[in-house]
A and B are shown apart, each in its own frame.
Chain A
């Protein structure tokens, strides 16, 4: 069973703080990792992708990947109330949906940024 695990939260941080969101996955062969942001009642929006060990920065967002520990994280610096949403971790699993692979999504972590 391929799994992607996230703490459901809610994670509450004050405005201006760093929010840290974590994700673990079970398939050691996974190669592609994604973070989505989903506002209540809206569709998931891709915000970050990462494929190699280490950090990848895009504006206030940093994705971190450690394949040996099967761990992906998302850091949001200078958190704003508009960042309040559910963040979904997604992992491309090669044996899920044949050799070409499909994404498996975690259930998401709800982030609340307090003014």
Chain B
């Protein structure tokens, strides 16, 4: 099994719908992140969490919310999806300050 698992892998949804993207990890890491990736814009941080009781906004948090249900689970919600939220979404984990990130396989989200 993958260390960082994202579900679903692909999703098409309609404008205005609420959608949740889920992430779970088996690495035992405290730090978890949500990024979106758009062509030409690179990876942009949406939200991050350093432990279960810690939630922080990234550079593009508007229109998104998160929930850290457990050390191993970090979910991203789009309360009312809009077409410019069409992107590739990645969850990532990290073991600490001097460690790189381990990414999940990604969720390709299309909002029509």
Residues of B close to A45: CB separation below 8 A: 103
Q: A43 and B42: CB pair below 8 A? A: no
Min CB distance B106 to A, Å, is: 5
Q: How large is the interface on A (under 10, 10 to 19, 20 to 34, 35 or more residues)?
A: 20 to 34
Comparing A18-26, A57-65, A71-79, A98-106, the segment that makes contact with chain B is A98-106
A29 to nearest B CB, angstroms? 13
> A102 contacts B48, CB within 8 Å?
yes
For residue B16, give the distance in angstroms from its CB to the closest CB of chain A. Answer: 27
- Give the size range of B's interface with the partner: 20 to 34
- Most interface-central of A42, A44, A51, A105 (chain B CB within 10 A): A44
- B88, B90, B98, B100: the one contacting A46 at CB < 8 Å is B100
Number of A-B contacts (CB under 8 A): 51
Once A98-B56, A105-B43 are accepted as A-B contacts, the answer to whether A46 and B48 lie under 8 Å apart by CB is no
Interface mask (A81-115 → B, CB under 8 Å = 1, otherwise 0):
00000001010100001101111011110000000
B98 touches A32 (CB 8 A): yes
B50 within 8 A of partner (CB): yes
Interface string of B71-106 (1 = CB under 8 A from A): 000000000000000001010000001101111111
Residues of A within 8 A of B48 (CB): 97, 102
Partner of B56, one of A42, A97, A108: A97
Q: Is A49 among interface residues, defined by CB-CB distance under 8 A?
A: yes
Q: 28 A-B residue contacts at CB 8 Å?
A: A32-B97, A32-B98, A34-B100, A41-B88, A41-B108, A42-B105, A43-B103, A43-B106, A44-B43, A44-B101, A44-B103, A45-B103, A46-B100, A46-B101, A88-B43, A90-B101, A97-B45, A97-B58, A100-B50, A100-B97, A101-B97, A102-B33, A102-B45, A102-B48, A102-B58, A103-B100, A105-B42, A107-B42
- A: residues with CB less than 8 A from B are 31-32, 34, 36, 41-46, 49, 51, 88, 90, 92, 97-98, 100-103, 105-108
B residues near A (Cβ < 8 Å) are 33, 40-43, 45, 48, 50, 56, 58, 88, 90, 97-98, 100-106, 108
